[in-house]
Amino acid sequence: GNSVTQMEGPVTLSEEAFLTINCTYTATGYPSLFWYVQYPGEGLQLLLKATKADDKGSNKGFEATYRKETTSFHLEKGSVQVSDSAVYFCALNTGGGADGLTFGKGTHLIIQP
Partner 1 sequence: NAGVMQNPRHLVRRRGQEARLRCSPMKGHSHVYWYRQLPEEGLKFMVYLQKENIIDESGMPKERFSAEFPKEGPSILRIQQVVRGDSAAYFCASSRQVDYEQYFGPGTRLTVT
The Cα 4–Cα 93 span in angstroms is 10
- For 83, list phi and psi in degrees, rounded to 5: -70, -10
- For 95, list phi and psi in degrees, rounded to 5: 70, 30
The Cα 111–Cα 14 span in angstroms is 5
Binding partner 1 (rule: CB under 8 A), the pick from 89, 92, 109, 111 is 89
Asked if residues 19 and 77 have their Cβ atoms less than 8 Å apart, the reply is yes
* Strand-pair partners of 46: 36
Q: Which of residues 33-72 bind partner 1 (CB under 8 A)?
A: 36, 41-46, 49
Binding partner 1 (rule: CB under 8 A), the pick from 35, 73, 104, 111 is 104
Binding partner 1 (rule: CB under 8 A), the pick from 29, 61, 78, 97 is 97
Q: Residue 46 Cβ, how far from partner 1 at the closest point, in Å?
A: 7
Q: Answer yes or no whether residue 100 interacts with partner 1 by CB under 8 A.
A: yes
Contact set with partner 1 (CB under 8 A): 4, 36, 41-46, 49, 89, 93, 96-106
